[in-house]
Structure formats: C-alpha cells, structure tokens
C-alpha cells in the first residue's frame, strides 16, 4: 500500500535503528537495500534501465527503433510518474517524521 512507501528519511531512520542491532544486521539491511534498488531499476518503467530493455526488444521485433518523438514522449511520461512517486514518498517521510514514525 501507499502508506508503506518510504524514501531517504525513512531509510535513514531504519538504518539508525538497524545499526543499534549490530554490524551483521546493518550489513544485511544494506545488502537488502542494494538488491531492492537493483530490482526496481530493471522494472520496465520509462527512465529506468528496464525500459531500455523493452525499447531494444521493440527495436529487434520491428527492425528499426521507435521515432525519437515517440521515445521522448515515453520518457516524459516515465519522468512524470517518477516525479509523482517521489512526491508521494517524500510526503510519507514527512508524515512519519511529524507523527513519530508510525509505519502500518
């Protein structure tokens, strides 16, 4: 759900809490965070690396790339989605900061 999204502020809070549990817990969380970022990056969302894989696949099937205008439109839509997601995550971070870090 939307309420479980967290950004840099939430991540910093979780890292602080995890560091209190010891080095192994901190390293485990850091590894999990790194894997999570890698998986998200390969999702086929325009502006992320996964979208390039889709575009290359379309190019392979069609035998030619999409027009620059079409690619530009796709990436503008992707950028808008990423900006909206960033605003939502930032809102959640600030809300948690103001309400005492209550995660659902």
**Cβ-contact 90, 7 below 8 angstroms:** yes
How far is Cα 100 from Cα 44, in angstroms, rounded to an integer?
Answer: 35
pLDDT beyond 80 at 1: no
Query: What distance, in Å, lies between the first and last C-alpha atoms of the chain?
Result: 9
Q: Which of 50, 52, 55 has the alpha carbon at shortest distance from 40?
A: 50
- The chain-wide mean pLDDT, for the chain, equals 91
**Nearest-angstrom CA–CA distance, 2 and 25:** 26
What is the distance, to the nearest Å, from the Cα of residue 45 to the centroid of all Cα atoms in its chain? 10
For the chain, how many residues are written?
104
pTM above 0.85, yes or no: no
3-state secondary structure of 104: coil
Q: pLDDT tens across 43-88, in order? A: 999 989 999 999 999 999 999 999 999 999 999 999 999 999 999 9
Output DSSP code: residue 8. H
């Amino acid at each position: 759900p939307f309420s479980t999204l967290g950004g840099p502020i939430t991540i910093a809070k979780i890292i602080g809490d995890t560091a209190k549990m010891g080095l192994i817990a901190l390293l485990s969380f850091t590894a999990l965070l790194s894997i999570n970022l890698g998986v998200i990056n390969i999702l086929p969302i325009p502006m992320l690396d996964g979208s390039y894989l889709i575009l290359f696949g379309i190019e392979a099937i069609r035998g030619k790339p999409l027009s620059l205008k079409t690619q530009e439109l796709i990436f503008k839509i992707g950028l808008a989605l990423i900006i909206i997601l960033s605003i939502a995550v930032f809102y959640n971070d600030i809300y948690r900061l103001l309400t005492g870090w209550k995660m659902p």
